[in-house]
Structure 1
Amino acid sequence: MNRLDPISLEIISNALRSITDETYAALMKSAYSTNIKERHDHSTAIMDRSGRLVAQAVESLPIHIASMHGLMQALLDKFGDDIHPGDLFIANDPHVAGGTHLPDVNLAMPIYIEDEIFGFVCNIAHHADIGGMAPGSMAGGMSEIYQEGLRIPVVRLFRNGELQQDLFDLMLLNVRVPKERRGDYFAQISACRLGERRLKEVVAEHGAETISTAFANIIDRTRERMGDSIETIPDGDYRFTDMMDGDGIEALDIPIELVITVKGREITFDFEGTCAQVAGNINVTLNATQAAVCYSLKALLDPDVPNNQGVLDSVKILAPKQHTG
């Protein structure tokens, strides 16, 4: 694989990070809800053409690191070659679209350079309401995902640059305060368009081949740094057990079991023995588990390493299987 010199790679890496930071700020400032404007529950990212996370805004939430990656895998699996300039995809479902929970709505826009997909710009924002049985869509006592709100698989919100108004009307009809939701959705859409412009500017300055090489080098560099840090941990098995009080419905004393196995530059988190999926809405998807584990490990070993695919690739996670509905 080609490698850029360290100076060029650092220049491009910072240029990509500045794109995600700018789109993060634009989304925050243009959103309608205090959930995004004040609480900053949103993230922005750049992905390569295969859906790997290349760059994420510095202020992005750690739990979102794997959600956008999960979205991209679902998007590419579903649409494959049926992706075109001007398309924009939306999803929120944790089970079929890589999400964390229903209020976190993901958007992804393909970036085309010379009639070929070069990458994607993505963002995710926590909407103050996504429908369901209670305002906020996250009340205790819920026992199935259908009570939490509108489930959105990966679908086209824009086709060839045109808003799919029927779909948008359906989404807004199923939420409370649709005016606020509409404003937040268009803030996300605008952030995608800003990211598209900025990424094309960087490609125009450095060349598509150079930026594509930089994508791979950035991920590899992070993977190497994580491997170096993991290697400082003595080989062996490390065990921890904790207990949750309950799920809010029926289950009590819910066990969480974890065995961390370190061998050289490899680390595995095995949650075997953890309680199976419970009735209450405290369950977590594998993507969200991966994000939490990776962030915790990064914070302990190398806090300054950037959030990208190199972090996700450094960790193996084994967990009890989840249901999908």
Structure 2
Amino acid sequence: MSKRLDAVTLEVLWTRVISVVDEAAKAIVRTSFSTLSNEANDFACVLTDAQGRALAQNTGSIPSFIGTLPATVRHFIRELGADSMRPGDVLITNDAWMGTGHMSDVSVLKPIFHRDRLVAFSATTSHMPDIGGRIRAIEAREIFEEGLHIPLARLVREGRVDDTMVALIRANVRTPDQTMGDIWAQVSANELMERRVRALMDDYDLETLEALGDELFTRSERAMREAIRAVPDGTYRYGFRTDGTDAPFEFRIALTVDGDEIVADFTGSSPQQPRAINCVMAYTYAMTAYAVRCALLPGLPNNEGMYRPVKVVAPEGSILNPRFPAAVVSRATTGHYVPALVLGALHRVIPDRVMAGVGSPLWALSQSSTRDDGRPYTTVLFFNGGMGATPIKDGEHVLSWPSNISSTPVEVAERQSPLFFHHKRLRPGSGGAGRFRGGLGQDILIESRSPRPIVLSVMAERTKFPAPG
């Protein structure tokens, strides 16, 4: 096959690559142990080339992981070296700065070899039911309080499981069977992607995926640059205040459109906080790029090329780019405001392309206790607000944006824990006024029916400063 792919061949190969990651996602839903993966959809599957450049991400995944997971692959390549990787290796980490922004997400990678050559990486990230430490509480002052830290490491070496690593993880979490069950589900999904990629390369007699990647990234980057050029040059500013902790937080953006590039500068946002709500730069970048994509190029599937024209500036030591060892476990509490900032700035110049304010950040209820048989359990339940209205229609009700997390069904939540839901219903009239109204929020009344104490942690926002509109 020639190094340059024609449009038809590119479409066939890319569609097949996307089907690979989508099939892997279904495997995680089928085989994972916790509701975070099989109900809440809090995971992602990504396929990269041998350089760690994202070729595809599963269709229904967490959007931010397109920016964080390929970066994790590149960290492994840089720190461990591609030459040290062997067929049968499985790599693992939950490093917040090299991963997704908090240690609750465990990233599992597998180098894919074809004809004795490293050609790709299959990669998954999944939110664990428990990673030790505090129960997702913002009281943590530094990351060492937030649970087990897995550095860039091997879980499997040339097909042999590292029993010490498995024992280390199991010894540091409250629910070892659930946590390791979810990790092994990720391993299986990565192996499935490996098999499908090898079959694809055999079918098309490919030695590498570089030609596919180069063509895909070039075309996607060109499409994004064309979309940016359609926006008038200028610097567009936006900002707001949020609930915060002891005092409200400030979020500010100066979004500069310069030809075919966009620079998002978050200078002026609040400084790094002594609470577990700081948002690392990788997550800030991912949420910025995702919002730009939603406004300017929503129809193109995620890949590395489309984000190249997007640059992000956030002062080190700020709430959107904290210094290690800042506490970060509830980084969505602040990071979910990033897309709202981007869209608010773009509203100044392309109001017909962006939606109104949304009900994010999502709310999370984490709980931990023991069952009747004495075994410990942990669960995390997510509750979503409404989507903002657009110039052409009402917003969707109780839809998680920008995280794409699903709401665990009441029946499943009650089966997994001693909680009883008196009601979980749409809140009438909560969408705001206007020709087109925002999506509705929800009212929830929950009762604990456990005879034992339960440790609860609630991640909530928008109680003092509601969404605009």
Q: TM-score, normalised by structure 2?
A: 0.66
Aligned to 1:278: 273
Q: Once the 2 structures are TM-superposed, how far is the Cα of residue 210 of structure 1 from its aligned partner?
A: 6.8
Match of 2:154 among 150, 153, 156: 156
The alpha carbon displacement at 1:267 in A equals 0.7
2:310 equivalent in structure 1: 315
The structure where helix makes up a greater share of residues is: 1
Cα distance in 2, alignment partners of residues 17 and 272 from structure 1: 37
Structure 1 CA distance, aligned partners of 2:216 and 2:36?
Answer: 32
How far did residue 314 of structure 1 move? 2.0
* Counterpart secondary structure, 1:110: strand
* Residues 139-218 of structure 1 mapped to structure 2, 5 A cutoff: 139-209=137-207, 211-218=209-216
Tell me what 1:324 maps to. Answer: 324
User: Is residue 41 of structure 2 the alignment partner of residue 40 of structure 1?
Assistant: yes
Q: CA deviation at 1:253?
A: 2.1
- Residue 237 of structure 2: aligned partner: 239
Q: Does 1:116 align with 2:139?
A: no
Contact 1:12 1:211 in 2 (8 A): no
Aligned equivalent of 1:68: 69
1:13-92 map, 5 Å = 13-80=14-81, 81-92=83-94
The answer as to whether partners of 2:93 and 2:152 remain within 8 angstroms in 1 is yes
Task: Tell me which of 282, 285, 289 is aligned to 1:290.
Answer: 285
Once the two structures are superposed, residues 289-309 of structure 1 have per-residue CA deviations (whole angstroms, 9 ceiling, x without a partner) of 111111111111111111111
Look up the SS of the partner of 2:235 in the other structure.
Answer: strand
Q: How far apart in 2 are the matches of 1:165 and 1:218?
A: 40
Residue 106 of structure 1 is matched in structure 2 by 107
Q: In structure 1, what residue type is equivalent to 2:199?
A: E
Q: Deviations over 1:81-114 (max 9, x none)?
A: 211111110011112x233211111011001112
Larger RCO: 1 or 2 (CA < 8 Å, sep 6+): 1
Deviation, structure 1 residue 261: 0.6
Q: Which has the larger radius of gyration?
A: 2
Structure 1 distance, partners of 2:271, 2:216, is 37
Tell me if structure 2 keeps the 8 A contact 1:70–1:99. Answer: no
Deviation at 1:125, TM superposition (A): 0.5
Q: C-alpha offsets along residues 13-41 of structure 1, whole Å, 9 cap, x if unaligned? A: 00000000000110111101011100011
CA distance in 1, matches of 2:86, 2:185: 22
Structure 2 counterpart of 1:156, one-letter code: R
Q: Contact 2:238–2:253 at 8 Å: present in 1 too?
A: yes
Alpha-carbon distance in 2 for matches of 1:167, 1:265: 46
- Call closer, same or farther: CA 1:53–1:29 in 2, change over 3 Å: same
Distance 1:210 1:127, change over 3 A: closer
Give per-residue Cα distances to partners, 1:192-222, cap 9 Å, x unaligned.
1111000000000112247431122112211
Give the count of matched residue pairs.
Answer: 318
Alignment match, 1:225? 223
Q: TM-score, normalised by structure 1?
A: 0.95
> Gapped runs of 5+ residues in structure 2?
317-321, 326-469
> Is contact 2:108–2:183 with CA below 8 Å preserved after alignment?
no
- The match for 1:3 is 4
Q: Where does structure 1 differ by over 4 angstroms across 4 or more consecutive aligned residues? A: none
Task: List alignment gaps of at least 5 residues for structure 1.
Answer: none
C-alpha displacement of 1:245: 2.0
Which amino acid counterpart does residue 12 of structure 2 have in structure 1? I
User: Which residue identity lines up with residue 154 of structure 2 in the other structure?
Assistant: R
The 8 Å contact of residues 69 and 98 in structure 1, kept in 2 or not, is answered as no
1:94 aligns with 2:96: yes
State the superposition RMSD in angstroms. 1.3
Render the CA deviation track for 1:245-289: whole Å, top value 9, x for unaligned.
Answer: 21x3x4x12211110111111110011122221111111111111
Aligned letter for 1:324? F
CA contact (8 A) 1:103 1:126 kept: yes
Between the aligned partners of 2:182 and 2:250, the Cα distance in structure 1 is 38
